[in-house]
Structure 1
Amino acid sequence: MGNCTPKPAKARAPPPPPPAAKERVILYGPEGSLDVSLVKIGLLYKNLAVEFYAASDGPVLESNGEKVSGAPARILRYADEKFAGPAVAPAAPPAGAVAIAAALQHRSMERHLERMVKWGEEMVNGGVNCRGSPKLEMKRFGRGYGQLMEMMMEHARMEERVVFPAMDRVDPELCRSANEEHAKELPMMNGIKEYLKSIFVLENGGAAHREALLNLCHRLRVLQVHCTEHFAEEERDVFPLLEEIVTEEPQSLRPAPDELVEAMEATHGHLFSFFLSGLLPHETMQYLDVLCRCQDRNRISVMLRTVEIRLEDSGGIASKSLGGLLKATQLH
């Protein structure tokens, strides 16, 4: 009849512990206020549960019966001192808001370029961290590079339309040199775009395909080095001079944040989440603080709301790492 002794049940892994409850805070202020939105975004980066109540005055933050009010920077400095998570209080901006915004755009582009290089290397090494088929992964890569290229080209056009005309009145030679650097980057970016098209038709896994991926990584590294040097030169030579111009020129001749936003429609539109995902939380807060200086309050309000929704959907971002930011926005 055989052995009828029942087999012991397989041991089951214990269920994961429930996520820790978020600390609850209350935020009061006028509905639609940019200051209130800025504070809320900072609190969401802290991974706090934010309850909002409309009020005639604000923003006012309440935590465990303790209240703090005032400018967003003051409230967020209080949040940095009281709550765990990444720093979110924006630094006091220099006189030239456009200069600090352009420098933050550099940081985002640098990090996205670094991501593309590492992504390419992963595909060369067999796609250890890649998802789906090699063809699908290549399409994702091409889409990611297309977003980055669109943002970089808009940034260059913005500088040529907004920053360089102001510079030309003071230092025409420096302005000419900066324009020449831009002229070098466009062929490099277009070359990578066209090269990606040629990779799509190659057989996956073959020697020619691997060689093409290696060449792609090399091209990306060359672009990365060139952009890093170019950005450093602008931040060393151009932006400080731009700040001086802002303090000395009449208001009508100063570059304004509105001009920056208008010159970069895609970056502040369908690429906005992509752009911000290359910034750390305190850098994002600094950039949003610059945007809040724009005259078109309705437009900025819509942009801030998209950031709120993204953070609420992702459960907040408590990590300072770019990897955490990229995962939260599902770039690829």
Structure 2
Amino acid sequence: MSGGFHLYSKGFCPFTQMARIALTACGVPYTFTRFQPQEPFPDWWTTASPDGSFPVLQLPDGSYTNSSAKMIAIGSEAGSSRSTLYPTAQVEEIKTWEAKLRSGLVQPAMKVLMAANPDIQAEFRPKLKEAVSTVTAQLKSRPAGTYFLGTPAPTSLDVIIYPILQRFPLITYFRGVSFTNDTIEAYVRVLESDAAFTSTSYDMAQMKAFFVKSLPKMKPMSAGRLQHMAIRRQFEKAGKLHGELETLAEGQVERAKDIAKELTRRITTLVRFIQEHASFEEEVVYPVFEEMAPGSTSRAHSEHAHDAPLLERFDREYKAALAAVELAPGEGAVQAAKKEYGKFSQELEKWRVEMDEHMAGEEKGLFPMTAQLGEREIGVFTNVYYHCSPYRELLLPFVLEVLSPQERMQYMHNIMLAVAEKDPEEWKKVGGYLKAGLSAGDVVDLRERLPALATVV
């Protein structure tokens, strides 16, 4: 490892990409060693990078740095004066922008992409949106076809920005949000006309496949949170259908009947889902929480007991509304639907608010306790899964229907951990539920995100 510059890394690291762009753009010869994701670093790594981070750059004098910022500066210093990443007239402006981009763009983008916890993603999405606005404003102020600061050659800012922009499609795929725009896409085309950027970039298909396997996932009991999300979204869908029903004209008989059927299916399934959710909490989860903190579930338990008979009544009366619509003659079905289902609009909203408050209370007071479960967590979740077996074929697609593609992956990942190896026959049944309850396109997408499903779908 003596003589010259030697860069070491693994995976698809954006900071490695920054270092490679800088060295290449400045014409600095270097060797690049890319370890496999599961391959251990050599013994000397603890000296080169005490915190275990990568990349690591070894300098010609044998010293090391694991700072991508230093690597960019070193590349600029080691290159010719014509290829500097820090033009003399703009050094101060570049330094100011560097600090702004590293904290405002790089960190939020990586948090949104890499964080398993949705709360962390939500915290950093607005920060990333703000950074994109700042970057876009600067790009609009420069002459078209130039680099970030309007220079004819790249600066360190372009080196920092490009690897992050290259990951925007991954953020869209895995997190369901887009941060790009026409101005940014035009800027990316400028960068990709420069061989220093394209020759050191990662293949998008390979990078996507890598993140499918390696992107951090939440723990099994995250299924509770995902179910809460599904309950909230199903209430929203039902509310929108009620709203559409109110706007129908007299002649829209078939649409009125379709909405009536869909509302009945959705609400009665939602009630069953809420009942099953409460049942596994009472019989599986709450006893565990009570062991950990006696009295912790008393409020949630009381709310379950209060709601149970009221939900049964609501479900029974809601089902009866469909019969009245189906019996209505001709165009009278529209008014019948409005009358019968209109009676439930306020009560449905009341249930939505009450359930939201109940779930928020659990999320604040009880969900944090799952972090204390340790090795017990998968066992608790497995018991939850089997507790719901009588209605799984009905409820699994119902939950997945309103989750985002990556949320679906997480939900199915949890189920995979519980049953795929221990109960292969049950895992096959799960595949059948998915094929029967989801569209073919959704099944293909889910299988792509969770390759373990390939054996059953």
* TM-score by shorter chain over 0.5: yes
Give 1:238's aligned residue. Answer: 366
8 Å contact from structure 2 (residues 378, 418) kept in 1 = no
Give 1:210's aligned residue. Answer: 338
Per-residue deviation, 1:125: 1.9
8 Å contact from structure 2 (residues 174, 406) kept in 1 = yes
Assess, with a 3 A threshold, how the Cα gap between structure 1 residues 138 and 208 changes in structure 2: closer, same or farther.
closer
Pairing partner for 1:303 from 430, 454, 457: 430
8 Å contact from structure 2 (residues 285, 380) kept in 1 = no
Pairing partner for 1:190 from 312, 316, 319: 312
Provide Cα deviations, 1:76-122, integer angstroms capped at 9, x if missing partner: 98x9777685317564324xx22x11111111111111111111121
8 Å contact from structure 1 (residues 106, 231) kept in 2 = yes
Assess, with a 3 A threshold, how the Cα gap between structure 1 residues 223 and 91 changes in structure 2: closer, same or farther.
farther
* CA distance in structure 1 between the partners assigned to 2:247 and 2:286 by the alignment: 42
Per-residue deviation, 1:191: 2.9
State the one-letter code of the partner of 1:258: T
Query: Which structure has the larger Rg?
Result: 2
Higher relative contact order (CA 8 A, sep 6+): 1
Give 1:24's aligned residue. Answer: none
The answer to whether the aligner puts 1:262 opposite 2:352 as a matched pair is no
State the one-letter code of the partner of 2:380: A
8 Å contact from structure 1 (residues 110, 228) kept in 2 = yes
The answer to whether the aligner puts 1:93 opposite 2:180 as a matched pair is no
The answer to whether the aligner puts 1:277 opposite 2:277 as a matched pair is no
Per-residue deviation, 1:311: 5.2
The answer to whether the aligner puts 1:166 opposite 2:291 as a matched pair is no
* CA distance in structure 1 between the partners assigned to 2:275 and 2:382 by the alignment: 18
Pairing partner for 1:289 from 394, 407, 413: 413
Give 1:123's aligned residue. Answer: 245
Per-residue deviation, 1:256: 2.4
The answer to whether the aligner puts 1:222 opposite 2:350 as a matched pair is yes
* CA distance in structure 2 between the partners assigned to 1:317 and 1:131 by the alignment: 36
Structure number having the greater helix percentage? 2
Assess, with a 3 A threshold, how the Cα gap between structure 1 residues 87 and 131 changes in structure 2: closer, same or farther.
farther
Alignment partner of 1:268: what SS? helix
Equivalent pairs counted in the alignment come to 237
Q: What is the TM-score normalised by the length of structure 1?
A: 0.60
Q: What is the TM-score normalised by the length of structure 2?
A: 0.45
Give 1:19's aligned residue. Answer: none
State the one-letter code of the partner of 2:408: T
8 Å contact from structure 1 (residues 311, 317) kept in 2 = no
State the one-letter code of the partner of 2:265: R
8 Å contact from structure 1 (residues 151, 266) kept in 2 = no
Per-residue deviation, 1:263: 1.0
8 Å contact from structure 2 (residues 324, 336) kept in 1 = no
Per-residue deviation, 1:173: 2.1
8 Å contact from structure 1 (residues 108, 279) kept in 2 = yes
Provide Cα deviations, 1:40-95, integer angstroms capped at 9, x if missing partner: xxxxxxxxxxxxxxxxxxxxxxxxxxxx987xxxxx98x9777685317564324x
Per-residue deviation, 1:133: 5.2
Per-residue deviation, 1:275: 1.6
8 Å contact from structure 2 (residues 253, 334) kept in 1 = no
8 Å contact from structure 1 (residues 266, 272) kept in 2 = no
Assess, with a 3 A threshold, how the Cα gap between structure 1 residues 171 and 135 changes in structure 2: closer, same or farther.
same
- Percent of paired sites with the same residue: 20
Alignment partner of 2:292: what SS? coil
Provide Cα deviations, 1:295-329, integer angstroms capped at 9, x if missing partner: 434123442465478454568569xxxxxxxxxxx
Per-residue deviation, 1:153: 1.0
Extract unaligned runs of 5+ from structure 1.
Answer: 1-67, 71-75, 319-332
Assess, with a 3 A threshold, how the Cα gap between structure 1 residues 127 and 313 changes in structure 2: closer, same or farther.
farther
8 Å contact from structure 1 (residues 112, 148) kept in 2 = yes
Alignment partner of 2:254: what SS? coil
* CA distance in structure 2 between the partners assigned to 1:277 and 1:212 by the alignment: 27
Alignment partner of 1:172: what SS? coil
Assess, with a 3 A threshold, how the Cα gap between structure 1 residues 138 and 105 changes in structure 2: closer, same or farther.
same
Alignment partner of 2:418: what SS? coil
1:56-67 equivalences under 5 Å are none
Per-residue deviation, 1:146: 1.8
8 Å contact from structure 1 (residues 109, 148) kept in 2 = yes
State the one-letter code of the partner of 2:273: M
8 Å contact from structure 1 (residues 294, 300) kept in 2 = no
Alignment partner of 1:279: what SS? coil
Assess, with a 3 A threshold, how the Cα gap between structure 1 residues 175 and 127 changes in structure 2: closer, same or farther.
farther
Alignment partner of 2:383: what SS? helix
